[in-house]
Structure formats: C-alpha cells, structure tokens
Amino acid sequence: MGEEGRPRKLTIIAWSGDMDKVYPVLILATVAAASGWEVVVFVTFWGLFAFKRNDRWITGKDWMTKMLSLMFRGGSEHLGLTRLNMAGMGPWMMKKVFAKNQIPPLRELIETAVEMGVKIMPCQMTMDALGIKREDLIDGLGESAGAAAALEEAATSDVTLFI
C-alpha cells in the first residue's frame, strides 16, 4: 500500500526499442502489477516500435517513413541489443540463452502485462510523425496520448522511470 491507503503506482516512460531495455520495462511492469500496483507504460519513439505487431514490417505514410520502418521494423520479436548487436547475431544468441534459462520471450511478457491490467499508452505524436496506425500496433494497448497525459500519470505515481 502507498500513502493514504491507495495502491502504489508505477509509471514508466518507455523510450527505448532495444531488447535489453524493453525487458526491464516489462519485468518491472508485470511485477508491479502482480504486487497490486497500478501500472502505466507510456511508449514513445523507439519504445513504440516494440509494441508494433510482429507480422507488420513496412509502415508509414510516405516513402521516408516507409524507409525508416524498413530499416527498423519493430515488433517485440525483432528488436536489437544496445551492445553486441552484431547484425542480429547478439539478439539471436540472447534469445537462445534466455530460452535455456526459462526466461519468457518479450511477446509473452507483453501479453502477461496486458492480461494483468498494465495500461500501455502509445505516444500519439510518434504515431503521427512516423505514420504508425493503431492497427499496426498489438492488441490490448490503452488509448494513445501525449506528454501532458504522461506527465499527469507520472505526477500521481510513487515510482517513475524513463527507460
């Protein structure tokens, strides 16, 4: 319990689209939800790409945004690493190591987060700028919003993280 008997609240501004940063976002979010906390994850910039559908590659509204999505397709199964990415070798090895250690894939952790009531808010500005439509994103996300809404969530939280 937090102050005044209300449940504690965690807000994460999830900016990174790197696998090794999206993992802690999902682990912290799911454990907080499992602890009875209210959890909000505001997904913005590269972070939004982690919540793109895995079967959606080319997105965008013109050749430049389409080109960007070609170079970074997003989707929780297609993310790179901040270190030792080595053209996809690093993530491939990391996924193998994680599976061997019974650490669930990101896709499963996202499903668990949604199922546990974690509110995932896509950044409308990122969606507009990069031409990412609602149907390009996975199911189960909350309503899209902007910085004011993200700040309001942060201001009413006990813990706020930027990852």
Partner 1 sequence: MADQLLDVKGLKCPMPIIKAKKAIETLQVGQVLEVVATDPGSMADFKAWTKNTGHELLLAEERDGVFRYQIRKMR
Contacts with partner 1, residue ranges (CB under 8 A): 1, 8, 27, 30-31, 34-37, 101-104, 109, 112, 116
Q: Between residues 118 and 150, which has the closer beta carbon with respect to partner 1?
A: 118
Q: Find the radius of gyration of the CA atoms of the chain.
A: 16
Q: Between residues 7 and 88, which has the closer beta carbon with respect to partner 1?
A: 7
Q: Between residues 72 and 98, which has the closer beta carbon with respect to partner 1?
A: 98
Cβ of residue 96: shortest distance to partner 1, in angstroms?
Answer: 15
Query: Which single residue is written with the structure tokens 């990412």?
Result: 132
Q: How far is CA 103 from CA 31, 156, 159, in A?
A: 14, 32, 25
Cβ of residue 101: shortest distance to partner 1, in angstroms?
Answer: 6
Q: Between residues 50 and 127, which has the closer beta carbon with respect to partner 1?
A: 50
CB distance 132 to 57 below 8 Å: no
Q: Between residues 69 and 119, which has the closer beta carbon with respect to partner 1?
A: 119
Cβ of residue 45: shortest distance to partner 1, in angstroms?
Answer: 25
Cα first-last separation, the chain: 24
Query: Which residues on adjacent β-strands are paired with residue 38?
Result: 9
Helices 89-100 and 19-34: crossing angle, nearest 10°?
30
DSSP class of residue 145 equals: B
CB distance 85 to 72 below 8 Å: no
Cβ of residue 71: shortest distance to partner 1, in angstroms?
Answer: 32
Cβ of residue 74: shortest distance to partner 1, in angstroms?
Answer: 23
